[in-house]
Amino acid sequence: MQVILSKDVDSLGSHGDVVTVADGYFRNYLGPRNLAVQATKGSLEDLQRRIDRIRAKAEKKHQEDLAKAEKVNALGQLVLEANAGDTGKLYGTITTKELTKVLQEKTGFEIERRNVNIDHPINKVGDYTVFVKFSPKVSAQVKLKVNAIKAAHEEFVLEDAFAGEEDFG
């Protein structure tokens, strides 16, 4: 007997597969648990329509992801300015949250924070590569240049704490 699986069944296949099983196996196990339906002409046509609809939706999303990736790739190089010390070390780290915000402003579409990947922490002045993953098959990369802004802070004069005290050594 041919059946269409309604859910994944470990020993048979995954959802939507058409498999051949014994009549008793369907009647006593698969049918009562709503794991499969009998493969009739109508149910096969319905399955095909669902598959076509899913493929069309997946193709549309793929095309949208390709357009987004193209727009991100077209950005070229992003330049960010952050407070940094004299050695080029930033006073904080540029996070994926901040990168996502900048990318959304530049591209005009929604990018999820978890889809923005960086190889290593952005905590120094320099050049970096940021990867944006839209789907398992579509990703983009953008170059990032981090420049330093000298922090406007007062110079502190440290007084000798031991001035006027005797040497104890």
CATH number of 30's domain: 3.40.5.10
Say yes or no: 106 and 145 in one domain: yes
Say yes or no: 85 and 30 in one domain: no
pLDDT of residue 155: 45
Contact 117, 94 (CB under 8 A): no
The answer to whether residue 168 sits within a structural domain is no
Residue 25 has pLDDT above 90, yes or no: yes
pLDDT grade for 165, boundaries at 50, 70 and 90: low
Say yes or no: 107 and 59 in one domain: no
3-state secondary structure (DSSP) of residue 134: coil
**At residue 156, what is the residue type?**
F
The predicted-structure confidence for 40-91, as pLDDT tens digits, reads as follows: 999 889 989 988 999 999 999 999 999 999 999 998 888 988 888 888 888 8
Given 63, 79, 101, which residue is the final one in a domain? 63
Q: Cite the DSSP H helix spans in 29-122.
A: 41-73, 96-107
Other CB atoms within 10 A of residue 65 CB:
18
The predicted-structure confidence for 137-152, as pLDDT tens digits, reads as follows: 899 999 999 998 865 5
Cα distance between residue 131 and residue 117, in whole Å:
5
Residue 12 sits in which domain range? Answer: 2-63
Say yes or no: 37 and 85 in one domain: no
The answer to whether residue 163 sits within a structural domain is no
CATH number of 115's domain: 3.10.430.100
Say yes or no: 94 and 45 in one domain: no
The answer to whether residue 138 sits within a structural domain is yes
Cα distance between residue 27 and residue 115, in whole Å:
45
pLDDT of residue 33: 94
Contact 43, 18 (CB under 8 A): no
Say yes or no: 112 and 47 in one domain: no
56 token code pair: 């069309």
pLDDT of residue 38: 92
Number of separate domains in the chain: 2
Say yes or no: 28 and 74 in one domain: no
Instruction: Share the mean pLDDT of the chain.
Output: 86
